[in-house]
């Protein structure tokens, strides 16, 4: 079976999902939504991309409880 690169980069897909969800989503919901497009996405890669987007000022990530994070767009 041939593997193809996803059409959209991961950071673009994250921003689009946030916009569709009204600007806020939990990390587990985001991970599940991204699994549909990027079947072999690791949590490490997701966290790295979230950190990059937060440093660039596009999103804000904060902890709701010990195991749940909320991701919000800054737009």
Cα(26)–Cα(68) distance, rounded to whole angstroms?
7
Residues 9-67 pLDDT 10s = 999 999 999 999 999 999 999 999 999 888 888 999 999 999 999 999 999 999 999 89
| Edge-to-edge strand list for the sheet holding 69-73 | 24-26, 69-73, 59-63
4 in any annotated domain: no
| pTM (predicted TM-score) | 0.85
2 in any annotated domain: no
The CATH number covering residue 26 comes to 1.10.10.10
18 in any annotated domain: yes
The residue segments making up the domain with residue 53 are 10-73
Cα(15)–Cα(68) distance, rounded to whole angstroms?
19
Q: Is the pLDDT of residue 8 over 90?
A: no
Q: Is the pLDDT of residue 1 over 50?
A: no
């593997």: which residue's tokens?
3
Tokens describing residue 74: 């800054």
69 in any annotated domain: yes
Q: Is the pLDDT of residue 2 over 70?
A: no
Structural domain count of the chain: 1
């Amino acid at each position: 079976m041939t593997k193809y690169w996803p059409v959209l980069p991961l950071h673009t897909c994250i921003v689009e999902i946030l916009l569709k969800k009204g600007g806020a989503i939990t990390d587990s919901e985001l991970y599940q939504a991204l699994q549909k497009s990027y079947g072999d996405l690791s949590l490490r890669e997701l966290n790295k991309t979230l950190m990059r987007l937060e440093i660039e000022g596009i999103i804000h990530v904060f902890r709701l409880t010990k195991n749940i994070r909320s991701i919000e767009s800054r737009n």
